[in-house]
């Protein structure tokens, strides 16, 4: 079985496996020495791009859509993420922030290459992977194991709450994460499609990346 065939062997697998692989690689960052947090991020970004490309024909809802609602939600979530930062305790701690400028201080070109990789990865790769898993798969799977039978625009309070909590506590900034998940899911329900949430997520992550670099707020990474 080819890698692509393995990845797309079922509708469930195509939506879950890329996300799980991405998360596993994230957990490996820094485990092979301090420098591995940067090299593994670059590796998982390339692999993530390959996975998104290869499942696109199976995961038919993974299509970018642009709307005013998506833009406004993207900016709103960014404002919440930054604005709430000092107002609540976080889940865990950031002992070694992801700061290429500090680690590669003798090689600024390499540092900026990793910064560009991080911003591009979080803007173009993370949104489709996470939105497909959380807003398309998990939200609907909570309602029925035959998740494809559940319309994307279906409203379900239980699924909304569970998905938001799981997404929120998967992040260091858990409260912002919960509110973020509610906002993105609202877009999916309102538009009955996934693409607007992907766009909003991309805008949020892009703005957050610029904020991190501009303010030196590396703890967000």
Number of residues assigned to the chain: 221
C-alpha 114 chain-centroid distance: 18
Count how many Cα atoms sit within 13 Å of the Cα of residue 210 in the half-sphere of its side chain.
Answer: 9
Tens digit of each residue's pLDDT (9 = 90 or more) over 147-180:
999 999 999 999 999 999 999 999 999 999 999 9
Q: Exposed/middle/buried for 67, CB within 10 Å: 0-12, 13-18, 19+?
A: middle
Domain boundaries of the chain, sorted by first residue: 64-220
Q: What is the pLDDT of residue 1?
A: 83
Whole-structure pTM value: 0.95
Q: What is the pLDDT of residue 93?
A: 67
């Amino acid at each position: 079985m080819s890698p692509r065939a393995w990845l797309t062997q079922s509708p469930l697998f195509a939506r879950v496996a890329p996300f799980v692989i991405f998360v596993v690689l994230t957990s490996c960052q820094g485990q092979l020495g301090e420098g591995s947090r940067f090299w593994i991020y670059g590796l998982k970004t390339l692999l993530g791009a390959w996975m998104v490309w290869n499942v696109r024909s199976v995961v038919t809802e993974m299509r970018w859509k642009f709307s005013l609602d998506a833009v406004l939600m993207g900016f709103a979530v960014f404002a919440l993420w930054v604005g709430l930062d000092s107002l609540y305790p976080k889940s865990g701690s950031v002992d070694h922030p992801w700061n290429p400028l500090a680690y590669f201080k003798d090689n600024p070109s390499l540092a900026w290459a990793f910064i560009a990789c991080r911003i591009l990865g979080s803007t173009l790769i993370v949104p489709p992977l996470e939105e497909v898993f959380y807003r398309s798969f998990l939200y609907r799977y909570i309602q029925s194991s035959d998740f494809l039978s559940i319309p994307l625009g279906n409203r379900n309070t239980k699924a909304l709450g569970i998905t938001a909590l799981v997404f929120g506590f998967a992040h260091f900034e858990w409260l912002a994460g919960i509110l973020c998940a509610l906002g993105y899911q609202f877009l999916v329900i309102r538009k009955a499609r996934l693409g607007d949430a992907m766009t909003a997520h991309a805008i949020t992550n892009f703005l957050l990346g610029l904020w991190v670099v501009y303010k030196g707020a590396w703890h967000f990474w």
